[in-house]
Amino acid sequence: MSMVQTVDNIALLPAYLAAGTAVLVLLADLLVARARVTVSAAALGALATAAGAILVGGGGERRTFCVGADCSYVFGGRAALVAVLVALLTLGVLGLSGPLLRAGATPVGEYCFLLAASMTGGVALGAAGDLITLIVALETLTLPLYVLVGLRRGSLASIEAAVTFFVVSVVATTLSLLGAALLYATTGALHLGRLGVLFAEQPELLDIPLTTVAVALVVVGLTVKVAAVPFHAWAPTTYDGAPLPVAAYLSTVSKLGGVVALLAVVQHALPARTTGPVLALLAVLTMTVGNLVALRQRRTVRLLAWSSVAQAGYILAPLGALALAAGRTGDARAAAYAAAVAYTVFFVVLELAAFAAVVALRPAGADGGTLDELRGAARRRPWAAVGLALALVGLAGLPPGLAGLFAKVTVVRSLLDGGAGWLALVVAVNAVLGLAYYLRVVAALWSTDRPAAVPTDPTPAAAPTDPAAATGPAVTGPAVAPAEPAAVLVRAKPVAAVLAVATVVALVVGFAPQLVLDLAAR
């Protein structure tokens, strides 16, 4: 008996709107050939996509491309949330791209089309119901970014970043597809829900070595997209070489896509007792390495990139605790998934705000520059400096950045509820560790030292041996430069002290009582 597969076009409406935006941008660029019209078409399409996702998602779960009870496309509440986030983040990146596009070095039509095509992949990703749809949607999200990263004409760093990102992404996709093929070979299923049922009803499948290899390949391929350690090295190079708005898109929409894909397979398909320990280890390595390496960064975008790596560790932590929560109530497992989603939402919003402030503080078309170039920025662009400071404070989880504080508290409490008190402690320690570089940037924004006084020449040691350097007006240069780090440190101490105390109080009040209760219960 043949089975008829029906198509629910209403469920596909957000994807239609996103794909239609890409087509509309192409037509606008071809027929009108005016940058303002092209950008407006992309912006209106992103708004229409968000509105369509809200309308469809608000009407309950809709399924299409189904064979029996297994569906390849399921558009529900979470898919609607992902689609709205992707559309609004795309709209925000379009807004950030104004100075870059007005500079004339970037083709407007191609730029907007690639963003719209990537948005289409993000919208479809949240509704993916099987591994093939999931991987294809993730690649549709990622593929246009290879070109966007390399759009800084005349920049060798941009070309290197694009090639690095391309090679790493191709390897990650290959691993994911190989893992999916091996899973199909051992289980005969690709739908996420069907795989979850098979592993629950036939736990002996996990005793097959090929199944273990398949699960490992799928997880590794997806963690590359999230930039989790040890698959993270591409992120700093790619972010720093890309145009600033593209780097903002990479650190928000691209990471959101990786988290959504990983969350889908961990929640619905792959067994938690197999993936949990691996993700817990990756979470510890990712947050620790990201924070430690960020301490040494002197370039703004590289610091944000390493910060993004550390934030990925916080996102992975609740997923890593699922193995311990497997024997607990369903509420504990649901809290772990909710914590990962909530932290991801807060992270992408704060990260986009941070990049928006950096774009406002830098010349049109320029890269992120160095941290020394941000010194005294509050005097030149006070509102942009305040925005950057609030975004960084939120990423650090400090008040008044209540969004970031709430996100970290949610993650830690989900870990405690899942029985992973040791992982909650690692998250708390890393949250304090991350303060050092966040506060350094915030302090530099309000520094009264002039950026010109910072010695940027890599050969300042030759100055004492030069007779001319010891006489005349040049004497003031070496006299100012050594005094600056100490002066900045003195001025940073009050701010650092207040924020550090506030963090410690928040950690103690928010985490310690629950930790004690959890340890007592055990």
| pTM of model > 0.75 | yes
Q: Does pLDDT of 455 surpass 70?
A: no
Q: What is the average pLDDT across 430-450?
A: 85
Give the pLDDT band (50/70/90) at residue 326.
low
Q: What is the mean pLDDT of the chain?
A: 81
Report the distance separating Cα 122 and Cα 125, nearest Å: 5
Report the distance separating Cα 185 and Cα 190, nearest Å: 10
Q: Return the pLDDT at 256.
A: 92
Q: Return the pLDDT at 477.
A: 40
Residue 204: both structure tokens together: 């002996």
Q: 234: Cβ–Cβ under 8 A, 6 or more apart, which residues?
A: 164, 165, 168, 224, 227
Q: Return the pLDDT at 401.
A: 65
Alpha-carbon torsion 304, 309, 314, 319, what sign?
A: positive
Quick: pLDDT tens for 84-127: 999 999 999 999 888 888 877 788 999 999 999 999 999 999 99
Residue 176: both structure tokens together: 């994911």
Quick: pLDDT tens for 353-378: 999 999 888 887 677 788 888 888 88
Q: Return the pLDDT at 116.
A: 95
Q: Return the pLDDT at 154.
A: 66
Q: 433: Cβ–Cβ under 8 A, 6 or more apart, which residues?
A: 288, 291, 292
Q: Does pLDDT of 274 surpass 90?
A: no
Residue 521: both structure tokens together: 């219960």
Give the pLDDT band (50/70/90) at residue 3.
low
Percent of the chain with pLDDT over 70: 81
Residues paired with 299 in a beta bridge: 370
Q: Return the pLDDT at 519.
A: 34
My answer on whether omega of the bond before 271 falls inside 30° of 0, hence cis, is no
Give the pLDDT band (50/70/90) at residue 233.
confident
Q: Return the pLDDT at 75.
A: 92
106 with 140: CB under 8 angstroms?
no
Q: Does pLDDT of 489 surpass 50?
A: no
Q: Return the pLDDT at 7.
A: 82
Quick: pLDDT tens for 391-410: 998 888 877 767 777 888 88
- Write down the H helix ranges in 362-420: 377-380, 382-396, 402-417
Q: Return the pLDDT at 476.
A: 39
Number of CB atoms found within 10 A of residue 296's CB: 10
Report the distance separating Cα 249 and Cα 259, nearest Å: 15
Q: Does pLDDT of 74 surpass 80?
A: yes
